[in-house]
A and B are shown apart, each in its own frame.
Chain A
Amino acid sequence: MFSAFIFSDEYNYSLEDLNSTSSSFGLNVWEPYYLDYITMHYFGSQG
């Protein structure tokens, strides 16, 4: 179990959805709102 903890590649974050046109606007994502989802995380920047 100790090894699994060290080598676990679990990710998580919980931040406010800032897109006013999104269905989860104002709520914290991806946890907990999308807990039962397969999530895809796209890293973008200005422009």
Chain B
Amino acid sequence: MSDFQDELRNDDGYENVVIIAIGQTNISSFNSNFCANSDLPLVMDQYPGLPIREQFSPYGQHKYLVILDYDGNMIGNVELTSGVSFSSKEYIRSILEDHYDQSILGDVNNDSTINIQDIILLVNLILVGDTQSNADMNADGIVNVLDIIQVVNIILS
């Protein structure tokens, strides 16, 4: 599963995708089978009510994978009975193709081009104290002159 996440990010370009494992047992037992072979985030559902599984019901079952969009809405689900099979990967990729936001970092006006118009909008964002995900070039959570410098460098390159 960790390898598949790497594929999605590095090979398919879906950088802002994450697979989170939700366990339901003693953490030390889970760690020995999971963390040694994976860098995926791991959280533990809480006994006895297993509230996360309850929340995702009926899809919060063993070996189910639920896909959520940026707003937390379900956009797909699949049962991975034999690991991440080829058909499962194709299904997941089809979901991402329909829902993944391919906006370009630095393309503030979302016209698929990075130019002076994006810099003007960047300056406006800074002046009003606003943020925009594809304007935060260095991913530090704020939009400031450091982001402008990076956009300028992209234009000049």
A40 to B52, CA, bound (A): 13
A3 adjacent to chain B (CB < 8 Å): no
Residues 23-47 of chain A: 1 if any B CB is under 8 Å from the residue's CB, otherwise 0? 1110001100011111111111111
Considering the chains assembled together, what is the distance between the CA atoms of A18 and B69 in angstroms?
23
Residues of B within 8 A of A13 (CB): 43, 51-52, 55
Q: Would you give the shortest CB distance from B37 to chain A, in whole angstroms?
A: 9
Query: Among A9, A12, A17, which residue has its beta carbon within 8 angstroms of that of B41?
Result: A17
Interface majority SS on B: helix, strand, loop or mixed?
Answer: mixed
Residue in B closest to A40 when the chains form the complex, CB atoms = B19
For the complex, count residues of B whose C-beta is within 8 A of A: 54
Total A residues in contact with B, Cβ cutoff 8 Å:
33
Interchain CB contact (< 8 A) of A11 among B1, B21, B34, B56: B56
Cross-chain pairs A/B with CB under 8 angstroms, 21 sampled: A9-B73, A10-B72, A11-B73, A17-B43, A18-B43, A29-B18, A29-B20, A34-B20, A35-B70, A36-B16, A36-B133, A41-B19, A41-B22, A41-B56, A42-B1, A42-B64, A43-B62, A44-B22, A44-B23, A44-B24, A46-B23
Given contacts A11-B56, A18-B43, 5 further A-B contacts (CB under 8 A): A9-B74, A29-B41, A35-B70, A38-B14, A44-B23
Smallest CB-CB A-B distances: 9 pairs: A19-B42, A15-B43, A46-B25, A17-B41, A10-B72, A40-B19, A37-B16, A21-B39, A19-B35
